Chain A
Amino acid sequence: MARPEPLARVLPAAAASERPRADAGNAVACHNVTVRFITDRRTVTALEDVSFSVENGGFLALLGPSGCGKSTLLRVVADLLAPTSGTVTVLGRTPREARLDRALGFVFQDAALLPWRTALENVALPLEVGGHRGLAAGAPTPRDLLRLVGLEGWEGSFPHELSGGMRQRVSIARALLGGPRILLMDEPFGALDEITRDRLNEELRRIWMQTGTTILFVTHSVYEAIFLGETVLVLAANPGRVRAAVDIDLPRERTLPIRETEPFNRVAAKLRELLAGDA
């Protein structure tokens, strides 16, 4: 696989000076968000009274067991789902406004590539729908983004010709097109083998540091959450609620061996304890 190019050469410098004043501070803020699903048998409370915030440029890992509503929470932020009650603010606006403005990129668990499109055409899809044709001058093109995720030379390949890890890289490139301020990732590496997953974790950390994009990352792996997150939001199930928000006190530059260090293991032990309290 081609060595990924440093992003500094690919992405223009983050336009920090022209950021609107409304979203100085938090990228995402949820206040007392409750989501209920009504079914034939019973009403399920997926999320109850969830409050949290992520500052601009932050990396929040949402950690919890299955059924704790972490994916639901991500869908509320992405305006794919309306909360039953509570308020959600994305970059100082409603999730709907943020969505219409393409401030959000979403990476799905199964990559969700369109099988009839090549890798390059899949990455370019956001330019063909939703009235967002054309990129800003100097913005990275689909080709640049494929290079960023290490897929140079695979532009013309169809999804069925790519491995699971490569498909997920394509979907990350697609989510990065147009330079979204926030990246929402729903267990993107959950279906991958551990070796590929480790490598993508390192790459995602690098992409995050180079782009300055705020990332919300759903996972049920303690290691992944600590390795990636600046903060880990531990969720409990039935009903889904926040158990704790744990700041990860590790250096910004992280490589995989950090998982063998003492501070890492201390946090891991703490998180496991928090998760066990759920049982």
Chain B
Amino acid sequence: MSASTDIAGLNTRVEPAEAEYRRAKQREALRRKLLPCLGILIGIAVWAGLVEFLKVPPFIAPSPLVVLETLIAKSDVLLSNLWPTVVEAVGGFILGNLFAIALATLFVHRKTVSETFFPLVVLINSIPVVAKAPILVLLLGNGFAPKVAIAAVISFFPTLVNMVRGLEAVNPQAMELMRVLSASKREIFFKLRLYNSLPYLFSALRISASISVVGAIVGEWIGSNYGIGALIIQATYAFDSALLYATVLVGSAFSVAFFMAISLAERLIIRWQPSAVA
């Protein structure tokens, strides 16, 4: 009898503490969301204040309000130029990553091929994008193809490197287990290496999602009259700073959305706790 009252007494003391803990946690979560928003608002306010106070002419830099007006007024122009960039970036992302995953698989299974061609891949990767772009434009002409190719080339490398690492960084005892079970190379690949590589793959995909957008835009700078990249160039030459800023905003919004889509996919697919990924 006395034991049960003791437990009840304990509960009454514990519950308020738990509730307080949960409230504190909620406050902390809210804080983490609100503070970055506040930072952005302060940034915009400082920008607006500077443009107003220093009387910056509109062809040098616009005030945020004008950019917002342009975003709404020219939304049709912006959107019709966003779609080609989206197609190029996403197309290049898919192409480059599929090729990287295939090549990583080959590299892991054929050491000679890896040792022969990996240095060449590193060499090609060391050429800056802005230098690679004109070469691909000459090779592939003026349409979608060179932009997709540039986005593909730029997303290819981080995935190749990370995928090779992920496929190889398998727990040695798990490898021994597979051998004790007489698993074939194919089974080892699909049951062990591939799963092991997924966390590595996703950390590469997040990088290549952002940089594939950069690749598409750079491709459009070189030779194009459509897309976010082309619009940036046109707005710059026309001293239309409001359109320039609006275009940049649309471009980065897409880049962020792409990145977040990949992060979401990662959270949906990787439900286990990966052993430390470098």
Q: Interface on A for B, CB 8 Å cutoff?
A: 75, 78-80, 99-100, 102, 104-106, 108-110, 112, 114-117, 125-126, 128-132, 158-160
Is there an interface contact between B187 and A116, defined as CB atoms closer than 8 Å?
Answer: no
- Is B173's beta carbon under 8 Å from chain A? yes
Closest to A126 in B: B181
Is there an interface contact between B171 and A112, defined as CB atoms closer than 8 Å?
Answer: yes
Is there an interface contact between B187 and A129, defined as CB atoms closer than 8 Å?
Answer: yes
- Bound: A36/B45 CA distance, A: 73
Looking at the assembled complex, report how far the CB atom of B275 sits from the nearest CB atom of chain A, in whole angstroms. Answer: 6
- Is B195's beta carbon under 8 Å from chain A? yes
Is there an interface contact between B195 and A112, defined as CB atoms closer than 8 Å?
Answer: no
- Asked if A125 meets B176 with Cβ closer than 8 Å, knowing A99-B182, A100-B182, the reply is no
- Bound: A75/B176 CA distance, A: 9
Is there an interface contact between A116 and B182, defined as CB atoms closer than 8 Å?
Answer: no
Interface of A is mostly: loop
Q: Interface on B for A, CB 8 Å cutoff?
A: 171, 173-174, 176-184, 187-188, 191-192, 195, 198, 270-275
- Bound: A115/B174 CA distance, A: 11
Is there an interface contact between B191 and A160, defined as CB atoms closer than 8 Å?
Answer: no
Is there an interface contact between B182 and A131, defined as CB atoms closer than 8 Å?
Answer: yes
- Bound: A21/B176 CA distance, A: 30
27 pairs of residues in contact across A and B, judged by CB atoms under 8 Å: A78-B176, A79-B179, A79-B180, A80-B180, A104-B180, A108-B173, A108-B176, A112-B173, A114-B191, A114-B192, A114-B195, A115-B273, A115-B274, A116-B198, A125-B191, A128-B191, A129-B182, A129-B184, A129-B187, A129-B188, A130-B181, A130-B183, A130-B184, A131-B182, A132-B181, A158-B271, A160-B273
Going nearest first, the 4 A-B pairs with the smallest beta carbon separation are: A130-B182, A129-B183, A112-B173, A160-B273
User: Residues of B contacting A158 with CB < 8 Å?
Assistant: 271-273
User: Residues of A contacting B176 with CB < 8 Å?
Assistant: 75, 78, 80, 106, 108, 112
Inter-chain pairs besides A79-B179, A108-B173, A117-B272, 10 sampled, C-beta below 8 Å:
A78-B176, A99-B180, A108-B177, A114-B174, A126-B181, A129-B188, A129-B191, A130-B184, A158-B272, A160-B273
- Bound: A132/B272 CA distance, A: 27
Closest to A101 in B: B182
- Bound: A75/B172 CA distance, A: 13
Is there an interface contact between B181 and A112, defined as CB atoms closer than 8 Å?
Answer: no
- Bound: A112/B173 CA distance, A: 6
User: Residues of B contacting A105 with CB < 8 Å?
Assistant: 180
Looking at the assembled complex, report how far the CB atom of B170 sits from the nearest CB atom of chain A, in whole angstroms. Answer: 10
- Bound: A106/B177 CA distance, A: 7
Closest to A96 in B: B182
Q: Which of A78, A115, A117, A131 contacts B180 (CB 8 A)?
A: A78
User: Residues of B contacting A104 with CB < 8 Å?
Assistant: 180
User: Residues of B contacting A80 with CB < 8 Å?
Assistant: 176, 179-180
User: Residues of A contacting B192 with CB < 8 Å?
Assistant: 114
- Asked if A125 meets B272 with Cβ closer than 8 Å, knowing A106-B176, A114-B195, A130-B187, the reply is no
Looking at the assembled complex, report how far the CB atom of A60 sits from the nearest CB atom of chain B, in whole angstroms. Answer: 18
User: Residues of A contacting B178 with CB < 8 Å?
Assistant: 129
Closest to B188 in A: A129
User: Residues of B contacting A115 with CB < 8 Å?
Assistant: 272-275
Looking at the assembled complex, report how far the CB atom of B186 sits from the nearest CB atom of chain A, in whole angstroms. Answer: 10
- Asked if A110 meets B191 with Cβ closer than 8 Å, knowing A115-B275, A116-B272, the reply is no
- Bound: A112/B275 CA distance, A: 12
- Bound: A108/B181 CA distance, A: 13
Q: Which of B171, B182, B187, B198 contacts A128 (CB 8 A)?
A: B187
Looking at the assembled complex, report how far the CB atom of B229 sits from the nearest CB atom of chain A, in whole angstroms. Answer: 40
- Bound: A131/B186 CA distance, A: 12
- Bound: A130/B184 CA distance, A: 6
- Bound: A164/B53 CA distance, A: 65
Looking at the assembled complex, report how far the CB atom of A109 sits from the nearest CB atom of chain B, in whole angstroms. Answer: 7
- Asked if A160 meets B180 with Cβ closer than 8 Å, knowing A109-B173, A112-B173, the reply is no
- Bound: A160/B178 CA distance, A: 21
Is there an interface contact between A112 and B183, defined as CB atoms closer than 8 Å?
Answer: no
User: Residues of A contacting B188 with CB < 8 Å?
Assistant: 129
User: Residues of B contacting A109 with CB < 8 Å?
Assistant: 173
User: Residues of B contacting A100 with CB < 8 Å?
Assistant: 182
- Bound: A79/B195 CA distance, A: 26
- Bound: A99/B177 CA distance, A: 11
- Asked if A129 meets B179 with Cβ closer than 8 Å, knowing A114-B195, A158-B272, the reply is no
Is there an interface contact between B173 and A125, defined as CB atoms closer than 8 Å?
Answer: no
User: Residues of B contacting A116 with CB < 8 Å?
Assistant: 195, 198, 270-272
User: Residues of B contacting A112 with CB < 8 Å?
Assistant: 171, 173-174, 176-177
